[in-house]
Amino acid sequence: MESNGITGLDFAVDSDFDDILTNPILDIAARFWDADRYEAFQVCYRSMRRIDDLVDDRKATGRKITPEEASNYARMISDWLESIKRGENGDQFTEQFLETRVKYSIPLWPWERLCKAMAYDLHHDGYPNFLAFLRYAEGAAISPAAVFMHLCGVSEANGNFRAPTFDIRKAARPLALFSYLVHIIRDFQKDTLANLCYFPLDMLRQHDLNEGDLKAIAADASPTESFRQLVGRIKAIAEYYGGRARETIDTIEPSLPPRYRLSLEIIYSLYSQIFERIDPENGCFSTGELNPTAGQVKERLEVTIRRFSRAGD
């Protein structure tokens, strides 16, 4: 199939769908890359999850974080980042991470922005407005997406990898925000019951909602009319970023090899699948309602691959 410019079925058929259907969507998409680059993604993603989980796991206890505790956590994150800047090998994984960054010429700024977002999370209880949420998303969502875009776009020549020809932050931003907003609605019930809230506080106030209301709605999946309006508003914003993401993907895909083009199509398609399940007027917004089954994800993947393959014929 390489002769007609499409490797889609070559590498897709080799992937065991049943082994990856419950993985995060970025991981599902990266499984269609070559093995070395997929391993690089795993290393980078794991390094980011270490930082993110450190904060989320603490907040999920429901106990208020004291200023002293927040400062201690923030110092741990800052010390880790500084050690990475110095190239210090604290353990075997850190050594692998440093080698991966050098090999693929990955910039450090995604981790800098992620650490900044996690520090904000430690010292603040929510986001006062949507602008503050967007600033937080620069680290929490756009940073991992930018690393994904970087690994899609790097090109190899004589064993050396050169940076993408496009701006990875600009390329990642709309797809990351579309995905993140969809992700927040999808995981509303799970996150709320784990004492995590990602809705901007001014939006909650505008819809006469508070965290107590959210917990009551999440506990028995009985949304109020005001909550439906809030979800509808956020879905509309997600739709805007989804349109921008589609335009961006169409712009950068011609510069990418087939398997990396397909990976972007998979991300967009699988998050669109969730987006389509969000029903502000009639939904209950439960975890079960908003998460496609493994069979549905598999079917969507197969449709996406067939459509991608036909487009290259």
pLDDT digit string, tens, across residues 76-98? 999 999 999 998 877 889 999 99
Question: By the 8 A CB rule, do 165 and 153 touch?
Answer: yes
Distance of alpha carbon 264 from alpha carbon 149, whole angstroms: 9
Please report the pLDDT score of residue 56 as a whole number.
83
92-103 and 35-59 helices, crossing angle to 10°? 130
Is residue 1 predicted with pLDDT exceeding 80? no
Which residues partner with 259 through β-bridges? none
List % helix, strand, coil for the chain (3-state, nearest 5).
75, 0, 25
Burial (CB count within 10 angstroms: exposed 0-12, middle 13-18, buried 19+), residue 194: middle
Please report the pLDDT score of residue 61 as a whole number.
84
Q: Which residues contact 15 (CB under 8 A, 6 or more apart)?
A: 31, 32
pLDDT digit string, tens, across residues 5-30? 333 445 554 455 566 666 889 999 99
CA angle 143, 145, 147 (to 5 degrees): 75
- Which CA distances in Å does 28 have to 2, 23, 175? 22, 6, 16
CA angle 294, 241, 290 (to 5 degrees): 30
Distance of alpha carbon 273 from alpha carbon 265, whole angstroms: 12
Burial (CB count within 10 angstroms: exposed 0-12, middle 13-18, buried 19+), residue 286: middle
pLDDT digit string, tens, across residues 25-69? 999 999 999 999 999 999 999 999 988 888 888 888 878 889 899
Question: By the 8 A CB rule, do 140 and 33 touch?
Answer: no
For the chain, give the percent of residues with pLDDT over 90: 76
pLDDT digit string, tens, across residues 137-173? 999 999 999 999 999 999 988 888 999 999 999 999 9
Is residue 244 predicted with pLDDT exceeding 90? yes
Distance of alpha carbon 150 from alpha carbon 26, whole angstroms: 13
- List of domains in the chain: 2-33+126-312 (1.10.600.10)
Which residues partner with 161 through β-bridges? 156
